[in-house]
A = this chain, B = another copy of it.
Amino acid sequence: MSKKKIENASKLQIIPMGGLEQIGMNITAFRYEDSIIVVDCGLSFPDDDMLGIDLVIPDITYLQENIDKVKGFVITHGHEDHIGALPYVLHELNVPIYATRLTMGIIEHKLEEHGLLKKTRRKVVKFGQSINLGQFRVEFIRTNHSIVDAAALAIYSPAGTVVHTGDFKVDYTPVFGDPIDLQRFAEIGKKGVLALMCDSTNAERPGFTASEKTVGRALDSLFEEHENSRIIVATFASNVDRVQQIINTAHKCGRKVVVEGRSMVSIIDIAQKLECIKIPENTLIDIDQLKNYPENKTVIITTGSQGESMAALSRMASNQHRKITIGKGDTVIFSSHPIPGNEKAVTNIINELQMKGADVIFQDVHVSGHACQEDIKLIYTLVKPKYAIPVHGEYRHLIAQSNIAKDLGIPKENVFILTSGDVLELDENSAKVKGKVPVGAILVDGLGVGDVGNVVLRDRQHLAEDGIVIVVFGIDQESGQLTSGPSIVSRGFVYVRESDKLIDDATDLVYDELISALDKGIYDWNKLKNIVKDVLSDYIWKKTKRRPMIMPIIMSTND
């Protein structure tokens, strides 16, 4: 798009830079004239075909190119898909961060790990409070979610007001703090809202999302039912309210509690410091103290509810945990639901735990942190936006929310399902996608950010599928004669002893081809490599119906 259009002076621009094609990597820029603010800065986890990749972060070229205009990051809550890319992005873009208390606590822990804490400006914002960022004013509105201190945002600009819900649910009886500030949604709505950007995660689910408190009641009766067992509860590390409720139930039963798993220990630590969790005295014990109590007077709260292979629960299930062994007399409760894609990993752990003799409970000890259809209708009805822009979710979820918006009477042409990079220009009179900014997914592998691209991934997939066959041979640069080899080695292709004859025959074949090519006067190394590749890959396909990567290496003996 032309510079001119982006710079359009009197309209608001909404520019999602991720999060619309996938779960995760939420980041959206809002621009009005020379002011840009950015809502959230999340990572996403690699797809199955991104072999070896640790995490994925958004491309922020657009922000870098407009660095002078960027006023700061406004963060809705402390989940990885909303804050996880901050340390990487702040390396490139040193702008201030605004967030509520617990959210900021979690961000600060991250920044510290990356050595960025000192050089990053930060401001903790209270619910109801507004901050001025250039031409924008941003108000933080209390919501409920599966993490404490989640906020919706009212983004005021001269072109109108946008309400962004963040990830949210409507919980009339939350465990910590107050219910979502529905009155404030109504008040802002009454004054007129240009656009609502609403969480779509559960937009396919009818009805209402149950209160977090219902899980507490389920835990109470499960603890009663299993009063003779040691109890292990697996849940999400960041769900402080859930941990609070497990601790409450444990305390009522006179059980001591161990918190296990690095990420959970660190978040509970932060939450305790910020008084977002209240742990009764003498309830938490160290893992080494477990042996001092009868087993049925202890509870272990642990990470690993998604079947993550390195998490504490998985190590317990496979006998690789240094301190905790699962056996008969243990009750393991999954206070969670598998995130799509994790079903098989979770089921594997359930099997493993049961094989060890544990009683495993995995149904009805969890509620979602996202609004279902009726909750979404409530927010729309309070906010009464002119435009609807469904966010947070895969395309199917955005579609589901757009259907809700239309059912509620928002005209079809005022509902926008955006694509990352779209520049939506809007004001009271019109809204239209006007061009694109560059966006993309940057792969992080170890210390490398962006150095693994499609070529490397394709090679990894190829290697994963059928392995590699390497052919080395030496050629004398002067005489053009074969001076050594060819010798063939393979990895991930076929077990050596099984394939002696295959490799021997292939070596003979390559030798003959090379001699014949050199006799014909073919000395070009690339040509020789291709000849070797072709003959070898044909031969291997014929013999095995496999297509390993073939890699000819020529050593010049005149180096």
Binding site for B on A (CB under 8 A): 48, 51-52, 340-341, 343-344, 347, 350-351, 354-355, 360, 394-396, 399, 445-448, 451-453, 455-457, 459-468, 470, 472, 474, 483-485, 487, 489, 491-495, 498-499, 543-546, 549, 551, 553, 555-557, 559
Contact = CB atoms under 8 A, between A and B. Distances in A.
Contacts of A344: 48, 340-341
| Smallest CB-CB A-B distances: 8 pairs | A446-B545, A464-B464, A463-B463, A459-B492, A460-B492, A341-B344, A351-B395, A451-B498
Given A456-B494, A459-B491, 12 more contacts: A48-B344, A347-B396, A456-B493, A463-B463, A468-B468, A470-B553, A472-B472, A472-B555, A483-B559, A484-B555, A487-B555, A555-B555
Given A354-B399, A545-B446, A546-B445, A474 B484 contact: yes
A443 B468 CA distance: 19
Contacts of A460: 463-465, 467, 492
Contacts of A499: 451
Most buried by B among A341, A343, A344, A456: A456
Most buried by B among A396, A464, A492, A499: A492
Contacts of A489: 551, 553
A470 B490 CA distance: 11
A326 to B, nearest CB: 14
A395 B451 CA distance: 42
Nearest to A454: B495
A483 to B, nearest CB: 6
A464 B467 contact: no
Contacts of A556: 484
A491 B472 contact: no
Contacts of A52: 464-467, 492, 546
Contacts of A485: 555, 559
A446 B555 CA distance: 32
Contacts of A340: 343-344, 347
Contacts of A464: 51-52, 460-461, 463-464
A355 B395 contact: yes
Contacts of A472: 472, 553, 555
A553 B544 CA distance: 25
Nearest to A395: B351
